[in-house]
Amino acid sequence: MRSRGPLATRLLTAITVAAIGALLALGPNSRPAAGASLGQLNAALSAEQAHQQALSASVARTSAMISSLSGQIALVRQREADVRAQLSAERVALARTRRELLRARLRLAMLRARLARARAALARQLVSGYERPQPDLVDVVLEAHGFSQLLDELNFLGDAEHQQQQLIALTRRAKAQAAATARRLAALADAEQQEALAAAQRVQALAGMNELLGSRELALAHARAAQEAALAASQARGRELENAIAQVRAEQAAAARAAAAAAASAASQSAASGGGEGPSPVASSTAGTTSAPTPAGPTFSGSGGWAIPYAVVLCESGGQDLTPNSAGASGYYQILPSTWKEYGGTGPAAYLASKAEQDAVASRIWAGGSGASAWVCAQKLGYAK
């Protein structure tokens, strides 16, 4: 197994970081623009929330990859530790074998020296036997001076013959032992060297794999950190957008209250100037339509162009035909799809219909004020009881 070098590691890290950078660059960079409408802010917030979901999913996938890679790294490191322990044991065995080899070489040298001495002694004995004729047994008996000398001569001849046979046997054994020891040591040294070399190669391969997996883990950790930073930035932008939306709605509500107060003041002045003859135009436009009195303020019904009080319209949509927000409400009156269908709206959503149809559906929902609770802004402005 070949391990990847530093160049491959750097390329892997660079490619991973570049890919994450490209992914992050695709996300929105929505910040509240000065003078942005409520619809634009809601659309930007929806896009930012979708971007946050994508980043959260990406962070989760990267974390899963890091977790899986950490398991692989732990397995490889454990395998590397086992192989290193095996290599250490084999090195100890190799050192022991080398000591045995040294002792065996010394023994081999001793055996060879003994073999050389045995050969020399045998050679001298053979030369001596060749140079001096073998004594005849009759001559020994005739030349002996007494029985005791005869026994000594016979024992000497027997001992000489026995010693010669021992020298021959010793020479043969020494030669065989020396040859066998040399062969065994050569085979043992070769086997130990091959095992040590194989273990060293396994350690090198596992170290390379460990380095590669470590570089991948580091690259993924950098990628996850970049994703988390982008997610945090997106969440911060989302909070800015929410604050901007709240501020715009507060301004619209304040404007609606001011308009309602001005209209009430104008209605009071008109009633006072008319001497109390009949209801005001605003009151007549709503008289008999509900059992509960509604707050003073312009409703702009009919020729005014709105089916519910204008203050509620300003608070809900700013008078614009908005696309669906995060809850799904859309159009001039911010009507939910389920409510839109319930009150006879055509199409899947309010913003896709004409203003006239939206006016008609909103009028049915409002029902002269009894349905004012369907709008949050109507509750805030005091229209809903």
pLDDT, tens only, 221-250: 999 999 999 999 999 989 998 888 888 888
Distance CA 41, CA 262 (A): 29
Query: pLDDT value at position 229?
Result: 94
Distance CA 158, CA 165 (A): 11
Distance CA 182, CA 115 (A): 15
Query: pLDDT value at position 339?
Result: 96
Tell me the CB-side half-sphere exposure of residue 78, using CA atoms within 13 A.
Answer: 6
CB 83 within 8 A of CB 203: yes
Residue type, 14: A
- Residue-wise pLDDT for 244-276, tens only, equals 888 888 887 787 778 777 767 766 665 565 443
Query: pLDDT value at position 338?
Result: 96
- Residue-wise pLDDT for 105-150, tens only, equals 888 788 788 778 877 877 776 677 666 656 655 665 666 666 676 6
Is the sign of the CA dihedral 184, 186, 189, 193 positive or negative? Answer: negative
Residue spans per domain, the chain = 6-251, 295-381
Three-state DSSP class for residue 311: helix
Q: Which CATH number fits domain 6-251: 1.10.287, 1.10.3470, 2.40.50, 1.10.10?
A: 1.10.287
Residue 280 has pLDDT above 50, yes or no: no
- Tokens, residue 35: 């003078």
State the pLDDT confidence band at 207, using cuts at 50, 70 and 90: confident
Query: pLDDT value at position 290?
Result: 33
Query: pLDDT value at position 299?
Result: 39
Q: From the CB of residue 171, how many other CB atoms can be counted at a distance below 10 Å?
A: 18
**What whole-number percentage of the chain has pLDDT above 90?**
28
Q: Which residues contact 176 (CB under 8 A, 6 or more apart)?
A: none
CA separation, residue 81 to residues 15, 74, 194, 214 (Å): 31, 10, 20, 16
Q: From the CB of residue 183, how many other CB atoms can be counted at a distance below 10 Å?
A: 10
Mean pLDDT score, 32-45: 78
Q: Out of 41-45, 75-79, 341-345, 377-381, give the one with best mean pLDDT.
A: 341-345
Is the sign of the CA dihedral 278, 279, 284, 286 positive or negative? Answer: negative
Q: What is the CATH number of domain 295-381?
A: 1.10.530.10
Q: Out of 9-23, 33-47, 86-100, 308-322, give the one with best mean pLDDT.
A: 308-322
Query: pLDDT value at position 273?
Result: 54
CB 3 within 8 A of CB 209: yes
Q: Which residues contact 369 (CB under 8 A, 6 or more apart)?
A: 286, 289, 290, 292, 294, 383
Query: pLDDT value at position 329?
Result: 96
Q: Which of 203, 245, 373, 383 is nearest to 309 (CA)?
A: 383
CB 316 within 8 A of CB 379: no
